[in-house]
Amino acid sequence: MPDLSNLIQKYPVENYAIAENGGIFLGFGSKGYFEFGEKKEPNKVLEYLQTKHSIPEDMKQGIRLTEVIFLQKDVPLKRLNAAIKSTKAKVSIHPSKNSYHLSKTGINKGTAMLELCKLLHFNNRMVIAVGDADMDIPMLQKADYGFAVGNASPGAKKAAKKVLKGKFEKGIEEIFTLINRV
């Protein structure tokens, strides 16, 4: 996040961002954010797993307003799917490197990106997305031009229109270099 903040200050970009796998839009209103998602459905699974199996939510990534996160080492995918089925929760699982992120069905970075564009009245503008993880795939697919940074997952690289050489923030800087050449 500090590297991203520095890049946002360095380049002429909007001061809005998508967080919590599409559940939060940063840069809106008096609270500084807008909740696109909600935690009611993911909480059904959390309460079930806490009560039935004493499986904790992963709080190392901070308090989440619209998603629930479990460490993969704490809950096998089979058990997580069984909990979703038992609770009839309307959620999607978004696996990351070490975690499972549960969001309300339909909430992901792709749907959030399109909704954010509507809110900002970005009609007829080219939308560029950059990602590094499988959770970024819906966003990379729905953007006009999706970039994967050099250290991206194989799935993100496959979904992107261009894979950058630079890793992490160096990949984002590479995008600005490419754009300024055009």
Predicted confidence (pLDDT) at residue 1 exceeds the cutoff of 50: no
CB 69 within 8 Å of CB 58:
yes
List domains and CATH numbers for the chain.
Answer: 2-13+108-181 (3.40.50.1000), 40-104 (3.90.1070.10)
Alpha carbons 123 and 54: distance in angstroms, whole number: 47
Q: Can you tell me the mean pLDDT for 47-61? A: 93
- pLDDT value of residue 13: 63
The neighbour count for residue 64, using CB atoms within 10 Å, is: 22
Q: What is the mean pLDDT of residues 140-166?
A: 95
- CA 94 – CA 109 distance, rounded (Å): 10
The 3-class SS string of the chain reads CHHHHHHHHHCCCCCCEEEHHHCEEECCCCCCEEECCCCHHHHHHHHHHHHHHCCCCCCCCCCCCCEEEEECCCCCHHHHHHHHHHHCCCEEEEECCCEEEEEECCCCHHHHHHHHHHHCCCCCCCCEEEECCHHHHHHHHHCCEEEECCCCCHHHHHHCCEECCCCHHHHHHHHHHHHHHC
pTM, two decimals, is 0.84
pLDDT in tens, 112-124: 999 999 998 988 7
